[in-house]
Amino acid sequence: MKKIPYFNYKALFEADKEKFSDIMISVAERGAYIACEELAEFELELAKFSGCKYAVGVADGTAAIIIALKAGGVGAGDEVIVASHTMVATASACAWIGATPILVDCLDDHLMDPKSAKKAITKKTKAIMPTQLNGRVSEMNEIRDLCKENNLLLFEDAAQALGAKYKGQCAGTFGVAGTISFYPAKTLGCFGDGGAVLTNDEEVYRKIKLLRDHGRNEKGEVECWGLNSRLDNIQAAILLHKLKSYPQAIEKRRALAHAYNEQLSMIPELLLPPAPENGDRYDIYQNYEIEAAKRDELKKYLADNGVGTLIQWGGKAVHQWKGLGFNLSLPRTEKLFERCLMLPMNTSLSFEDVQYICEKVREFYN
């Protein structure tokens, strides 16, 4: 019996142990911990990779959303439309700046349903913020048109989608600002928390830089209330190194997804993610999230056979957490959370591992 964890955190360091050790020693020996040359260089390279003008490193993905919304003009009393199929951080970031998250349903690809978003627009709606989930970009033409028709701001929670594209354009670059997470299990992960905000707007960029550093400008003068939310330089140095081989890491994920699709597509009890060859999209497969009949039984069977799986976010959509005070029904999202299951998907996974996982899934349904 093989042992395949859902995610192998130790493998992140072991993959390039000598180089990572050299990077950390170099930063420590120079005392270059906060806002030093590696951060500045990483921000330049990240912007270049994403095809946008500016990238700003911040402390984590949640802070990135808070800062992006605030810098982009969202505030107290505003409503922001988000999909309920997302991490609670997407909605909580709205709440923390005094805005109200308005939750909407998802499509069969698990991303925001533009029709559901359209129905949720009110006089208080200020922005729409789709989550570019599992390494896939939403129906951005429809969402962008919806924003233009209703004079709304467009933001993106692209925490799971760095490098994913819709009609050739990278996630995080469609609206006022987009946010990225560098949590260790992300496609580009550091060795702790980390995040970034992407934007093409020079004034929004200036405000983001103020907000991440106590409201201080380059002269040290405080212009506004801000946060202490800089991306640590040691994490920036690690990310700068990893970014160089990131395109190859994405291609491996796409190849693994192709192997999954090829070996599981004949099972009628499963709904698989769209295949890598899917027209307007370039998916990077942060996760490989399936829908499965007898989901809980399948999860146990795989665990009994050494395969780790995950039901994302504790098995609930944001609107299903009673403590948050929501009272609405989103049928597609609720059905999804009865069936969703994430199979292992990361660059430490081998194609033999995928073959073993698929064999066990087929065994279960046979």
Give all domains of the chain, ordered by start, each with its CATH number: 10-243 (3.40.640.10), 246-365 (3.90.1150.10)
Cα–Cα distance between 116 and 110 in angstroms, integer?
13
CA dist., res. 261 & res. 39, Å (int): 38
State the residue for tokens 């491996």.
252
* Cα–Cα dist 83/62, whole Å: 16
Cβ atoms of residues 43 and 187 within 8 Å: no
> The whole model's pTM is what?
0.96
Residue 274 pLDDT: 94
Report the pLDDT value the prediction gives residue 278, as an integer from 0 to 100: 74
Question: For residue 193, which amino acid is it?
Answer: D
Say if CB 89 and CB 62 are below 8 A apart. yes
Please give the structure tokens belonging to residue 121.
């627009």
Q: Please report the pLDDT score of residue 295 as a whole number.
A: 98
Q: Parallel, antiparallel, or unpaired for β 165-166 and 100-104?
A: unpaired
283 contacts 111 by C-beta, under 8 angstroms: no
Q: How far apart are CA 132 and CA 161, in angstroms?
A: 6
Q: Burial-class residue 169 by CB neighbours within 10 Å (0-12, 13-18, 19+).
A: middle
Question: Cβ(225)–Cβ(237) under 8 Å?
Answer: no
CA–CA gap between residue 234 and residue 255 (Å, rounded): 31
Q: How many CB atoms lie within 10 A of CB 195?
A: 28
Order of strands across the sheet that contains 195-199:
54-58, 195-199, 177-181, 153-157, 125-128, 79-83, 100-104
Query: Comparing C-alpha atoms, which of 356, 329, 334 is closest to residue 343?
Result: 356
pLDDT string in tens for the chain (366-residue length): 899 999 999 999 999 999 999 999 999 999 999 999 999 999 999 999 999 999 999 999 999 999 999 999 999 999 999 999 999 999 999 999 999 999 999 999 999 999 999 999 999 999 999 999 999 999 999 999 999 999 999 999 999 999 999 999 999 999 999 999 999 999 999 999 999 999 999 999 999 999 999 999 999 999 999 999 999 999 999 999 999 999 999 999 999 999 999 999 999 999 999 999 878 899 999 999 999 999 999 999 999 999 999 999 999 999 999 999 999 999 999 999 999 999 999 999 999 999 999 999 999 999
SS3 state at 136: coil
The token pair at 19 is: 């180089």
DSSP letter assigned to residue 42: H
